[in-house]
Amino acid sequence: MNPSPNLFLVGPTGAGKTSIGQRLAAHYGLPFVDLDVEIEARCGMPIADLFAREGEAVFRAHECAHLDEFSRREGLVLATGAGAVLDAGNREVLASRGTVLMLAVDVDEQLERLRDDTARPLLAGPDRLARLRALAEHRTQLYEDVADLIFHGRHESVDDAVPRAIALLERHWKRDGWKRS
């Protein structure tokens, strides 16, 4: 297991990387970085607009560059975008610069959590369930391969999930200098 002072969250869209990540960062007294939010801020537009104007390849190039930059810092919790693991270089960066926690969630739970979400370009189209299944089939093994730990989501609130995630981390992830708030 990677004993890095960084914690990187990977997993599918709607797994809770941002919501759980913010709470983990607060619990451990660390800064939180949402990679997609950083890309939007620096590009000056929502990711959906970046996809529409420049295409997925340009977005992925931004994602790689931003992941490389932020992962060089020490002592943070970083939520990746769901597709960050598609790039082999990103997987190497994640594995070598931080402890990687996969947030696993089943497709039915994703569909429920994302029912009102219209901002994710890869979920656009008439059959969202089929799209989520296809993404899961393609990406789940990549998440598992890079993960040091896997946190299995349940049909529960963030308030219920976070203590379980902390307990998992504290059973397996020992890091000098961590402070609890």
Known binding residues for substrate are: 36, 60, 139
Known binding residues for Mg(2+) are: 18
Known binding residues are: 14-19, 36, 60, 120, 139
Known binding residues for ATP are: 14-19, 120
CA distances from 23 to 28, 87, 114, 165 (A): 9, 27, 20, 10
Give strand pairing partners of 152.
104
**CB-CB contact of 136 with 107 (8 Å):** yes
Q: What is the DSSP letter of 7?
A: E
Furthest-apart CA atoms within the chain: distance in Å: 49
**CB-CB contact of 100 with 147 (8 Å):** yes
